[in-house]
Amino acid sequence: MSFTPSNNLKEEVSELLTHYPEGEKRSASLMVLHAIQEETGYISKEAMQWAANEIGIKPLNLYELVTFYPMLREEKVGKYVLKVCRTLSCALAGGMSLHKNLCSKLKLDPAAHGLQTTEDGKFSIEFSECLASCGTGPVMMCNDNFFEAVSNSKADDILSKCE
């Protein structure tokens, strides 16, 4: 498998790196990784190698970031990524049954751990730690959209609006 960045990505990364003095380009690492993920949906080992060459660091330095930050992904995800909060207040408000309902609708295993993606690649779902709206649980996200007080019927509505 190889990684060939688009011209837009090359230009964006090149532009990002101009904001850092020589010897400090490493500070752009997270921004470069976000740019890659924005374009490809995930960050492959080959993309990390390319980015490391551009930044002037070892690929291992980028791998450490990708595996540390939960918003960075090493594997392809669906067009719509659903995150269901599982911390205490959301769990007590119905977060677990919300996750179970979503998995059922998407024909995924509610007992499975970690990220799951539908066969058609349209949806991915995972539990998330606190989404910072403890008083309005259960909460979930669909990509960058945040939803509070999500009932099963509201979740069904959210799914139906995903095209």
Q: For residue range 57-92, what is the model confidence (pLDDT) as tens digits?
A: 999 999 999 999 878 999 889 999 999 999 999 999
pLDDT for 163 beyond 80: no
pTM equals 0.76
Is 7-68 in CATH node 1.10.10.1590? yes
Helices (H), 59-150: 59-68, 88-92, 95-105
Amino acid, res. 126: E
| CATH of range 80-160; options 3.40.30.10, 3.40.50.970, 3.40.50.300, 3.90.550.10 | 3.40.30.10
pLDDT confidence of residue 150: 97
Q: Do domains 7-68 and 80-160 have the same CATH topology?
A: no
Boundaries of every domain in the chain? 7-68, 80-160
Residues 49 and 54: their CA atoms lie apart, in Å, by 9
Nearest to 98 by CA among 153, 162, 145, 161: 153
